[in-house]
Chains A and B, each alone.
Chain A
Amino acid sequence: METTVALLNGFSVALEPSKLLFCLVGVFLGTAVGVLPGIGPALTVALLLPVTFKLDPAGSIIMFAGIYYGGMYGGSTTAILLNAPGESASLATALEGSKMAKAGRGGPALATSAIGSFVAGTIATLGLAFLAPWLVEIAVKFGPWDYFALMIVAFVTVSATFGDSPLRGLTSLFLGITLGLIGIDKLTGQARLTFGVPDLLNGVEVTTLAVGLFAVGEALYVASKRFRDPEEIIPIRGSLWMTRQDWKRSWAPWLRGTAFGFPIGALPAGGAEVPTFLSYSTEKRLCKYPDEFGKGAIEGVAGPEAANNASAAGTLVPLLTLGLPTSATAAIMLAGFQQYGLNPGPLLFAEKPDLVWGLIASLFIANVMLVIINLPLIGIWVRLLAIPQPWLYAGILVFATMGTVAVNASPVELGMLFVFGYLGYLMRRYDYPVAPMVVGLILGPMAEAQLRRALQISLGDPMILLENPISATLLGLAFIALVAPFAMKGLNKFKAAED
C-alpha cells in the first residue's frame, strides 16, 4: 500500500508536460544511438549522459530513464534487419529475427520486439517497484557454485541451436569455448593463447565474433552463390503489422521471457545473455510450429527480446537497493545517479523517496514512449531492406566495420572481425551452425570463472556444488534437460535453428 502511494507520487512528478518531453527526447536519443552497431547500451548511456546534465535533477533522471530503455531496445533493430547483433544480449533475437526480415516479415518481427519489450519492461518495472527488497535478499545468497550451475543449465540449452548435426554443433560450440580462453585469465592474471600479441590480452570481444560470423559471414555467403541461387529479400510480405496469429503466438513467449529475464537480471552476476538463451530454447521446445524455427519463428524473437528487456529492469534491483552495479551499463547508470545526487544503496529509498519513485515512474513512462516512437518507425526501417542488394550488403559491411572501429580501432581487432567473417562463410557452406560458437564464447569464460571461484572457496572440494540446495537443484534440472530429449526422441529431431 505504502509502495503504491509512493509510486503514485512519483507519477505526479513524472507526468508534468515538460517532464514528458524530456522523457520523449531521452527515448528518441537512446534509440537513435543504440541502433548504431558496436554501440551497446553501456556506451549509449555513457555518451548521452552529459546531455542530461543541463536539466534539473528530476528532469535529468527522467530523460536518463528514457535513454536507458531506448538504448536497450535499439540493439534489436540492427539484429533483426541487418543480422548484426550490436550486443551479446541481442544474439538470440538475431537468430530468428533476421530470418523473418528476409522473408518479408521484418514488420511483425520489429513489432513483436517493441511490444514485447514494452510488456516485459512494464512487468519487470512493477517487479522492481514491489519486489525489489525481497528479491535482492535472495539474489545476494547466490554463491559462485550457484552461478556455475546456472551456466550449466544455459549450456544445455545450446543444443537448441545445433541444427541437424550434433557433431557440427558441438564443434562450433567447442571452438567458441576455445576462443573464450584467449586473453588474460581473470582469476590469476595468466595470459592464455595470446602468443605474445598484446591486442589479444583482453580476449575476443563477443560483438566482434557475433558480427563477424553473422553479418560478414552471411554477406560473403550470399555473394558466393549470387548466380546459382540468388537471394531474394522481400521488404514486406503480407501485413506490415502483427496479425492475429502473430499476437496469439507472441503473448506467451513475452511472459515467459519476462519470467526468465527479470529474476536472472536481478542476480548480481546473472547478466542478460543467459535469460535470452534460456528463453530461445524454451520457445523452441514449446512452439507449436517447430519447423519454423530456423526459418523465422516469431516466438524466437518475442521471447528473447522480452527476456533482454526484463533483465534490463532486473539489473536495477541490485543497483537501486544495494548500490551494486552488475553490468557495464549499470556502472555508468550509477555514475549518472551520483551526479544527480542520488546515492543508490540501502538507504536510497529512505533518504530520497521523491527522486527514486520519480525514476521508477519515469521507467514506466519511458516504456510507453518507446512503443509510441518505435511502432511508426517500423515502416521506415523495413523499407531499408528495399535498397538494391549490392548497396544493402555494402552498407551492412560498412556498419559492421564501423561498430568495431568505434570501440577499438586496432588492425588486429578488424583482422579478427574479417577472419571470423570468412570462418562464418565456410561454416555456412558446410552447414556448421554459427550460433553455438558465440554462445560458447559468452558462457565458457563465465562458467569457468564461477567454478574456479567456488573451488577456491571450498579449497578444492567439488562436493560444494552438490551440497548447496540451489546449485544442486539447478544441476539436477540441467541433467534432466540433457537426458530427456535423448530419451524421448533423440537429438536429431531438433531442426536447424540458426543460419
Chain B
Amino acid sequence: MLTSLLKRGAIAAVAVVGLSTAAFAQLELKIMAPASPGGGWDGTARSMQQALMASGIAKSAQVNNVTGAGGTIGLSQLINAKGDGSQLMVNGFVMVGAILLNKSPVNLTQVTPIARLTAEAEVIVVPTDSPLKTAKDLADRLKADPAKVTWAGGSAGGTDHILAAMFAQAVGADAKKINYIPFSGGGEALAAMLGGRVTAGISGYGEFEGQIKAGKLRVLAVSSPKRLANAPDAPTLKEQGIDLELLNWRSVVAPPGLSADQEKVLQEAVAKLVKTKEWTDILKARGWDDAYLGGAEFAAFLKAEIERVGKVMHDVGLVK
C-alpha cells in the first residue's frame, strides 16, 4: 500500500518534471500590469518579461497594461480570463486596499495566487529638528491629541495611510481621528517633510533614503520584522514595544479555474525566475528586496493581509 503510493508519487513526480521541462521550452506568457506604463507594477511586469526571456524560462512574454481604478479593472479582466494558464498579473499590497475603497465587485480571493516577489519596508520619519526622538514620543503625542499630529504620505487607502492607521491602533490612539494628508507621489510628501509642514512622514524606505543618509530626516521606526541591512541604526516598531509589522509587497497572480498542472507550470516558472541571475541583477539595480514566497504559503499570506487591511479600513471609516 505504502510502497505503491510512493511509487505512484514517484511516477507522478517524474511526469510532472518531464511535463514542466517540455512546457518551459514553449512557455508563452502574457503578463498584465494593471496600471499605466511607467509605474511600479509596470516596472515589475517588464522586469519579469526581461528576465523570463533572457534566461530562457519562457519562449515569449508579452506585457500589456490595463489602466484604471487602482488596478481593479485589470483584476476583473484577469478573473474573466478563467482557466487561461498563460496569463499572469502583477499586483501588490496597494490593490488590497483599492479593492475595498473602490467597492470593486471582484477581489483577490478569486485569483490563483502564484508568488510574492518583492517587499519594501515602510519608514516613519520626522524632520531632524523635530522634538520627537522615538516612536514612543510620537505615540504619546498622538494619544494626547491626534489632530495635532499631521502625517504626510501617499494616496488615501494606500500602504502609508494604512500604516498610519495601524500605528494609531497599535499604540491605543483613536485611529478614526488621525490627521493624515495624502500627497501625490513620494516627492511632494518629502518636500512637505523637509519644509517642516507636517509632523511625521511615511513612505517606502527607498524614497526617503537619500534624505535620511544626509541627516535631514530622522527615522523613528521601520515597519519590517527585522532591521534593514542598509539602515542598521533604524529600530523596528516591534523593538519599541509597538506590535506592528507591515511590508509593501508585490506579487504575481494568475486567473481562477486553472488545472493543477497549469498552476504548477506557472509556480515553477516563477520559482525558477527568482533564482536567475537576470532577476537578481534587476532587483539590485532597482533597489528591490527579494521576498519570494511561493505556493500555499503565499496563498495563506495573501488571505491574512486581506483580512487585516479590511479591518483597518473599516475601523478608520474608509469603508462603511
Contacts and interface: CB of A to CB of B under 8 A. Distances in A.
Taking the complex as a whole, does A directly touch B, i.e. does some CB pair lie under 8 Å apart?
yes
Interface of A: 42-43, 46-47, 50, 139-144, 184-189, 191, 198-199, 201-202, 268-269, 318, 322-326, 328, 330-332, 335, 338-339, 343-348, 407-408, 410, 449, 453, 456-457, 459
Interface of B: 36-38, 42-43, 50, 65-70, 72-73, 76, 101-104, 147, 150, 155-157, 179, 181-188, 190-192, 194-195, 197-198, 209-211, 213-214, 216, 285-287, 318
Contacts of A47: 37
A274 to B, nearest CB: 15
Given A325-B187, A453-B181, A456-B179, A407 B210 contact: no
Nearest to B206: A338
A147 B33 CA distance: 33
A189 B187 contact: no
B185 to A, nearest CB: 7
Contacts of A201: 68-70, 72, 102
Contact of A186 (B147, B156, B209): B156
Contact of B318 (A189, A322, A346): A189
Contacts of A191: 102-103
Nearest to B212: A345
Given A322-B211, A324-B187, A456-B179, A202 B68 contact: yes
Contact of A410 (B68, B195, B210): B68
Contacts of A335: 43, 286
A198 B98 CA distance: 12
B211 A198 contact: no
B210 A184 contact: no
A198 B194 contact: no
A34 to B, nearest CB: 14
A142 B196 CA distance: 10
Given A42-B38, A141-B195, A322-B210, A198 B104 contact: yes
Given A141-B195, A142-B195, A198-B68, A185 B179 contact: no
A371 to B, nearest CB: 28
Interface pairs A-B: 9 shortest CB-CB = A345-B210, A346-B214, A189-B156, A268-B191, A201-B69, A323-B210, A46-B38, A324-B187, A408-B67
B102 A410 contact: no
Contact of B155 (A186, A344, A407): A186
A43 B194 CA distance: 29
Nearest to B190: A324
A185 B156 contact: yes
7 contacts: A140-B195, A189-B157, A199-B69, A268-B188, A330-B187, A453-B183, A457-B181
Given A188-B156, A345-B209, 10 more contacts: A198-B102, A199-B68, A268-B187, A331-B38, A339-B286, A407-B36, A410-B68, A456-B181, A457-B197, A459-B179
Contacts of B195: 140-143
Contacts of B69: 184, 198-199, 201-202
B72 A198 contact: yes
Given A453-B181, A457-B198, A322 B190 contact: yes
B102 A346 contact: no
Contacts of B155: 186, 189
B130 to A, nearest CB: 15
B217 to A, nearest CB: 10
B239 to A, nearest CB: 27
Contacts of B179: 456, 459
A346 B37 contact: no
Contacts of A339: 285-286
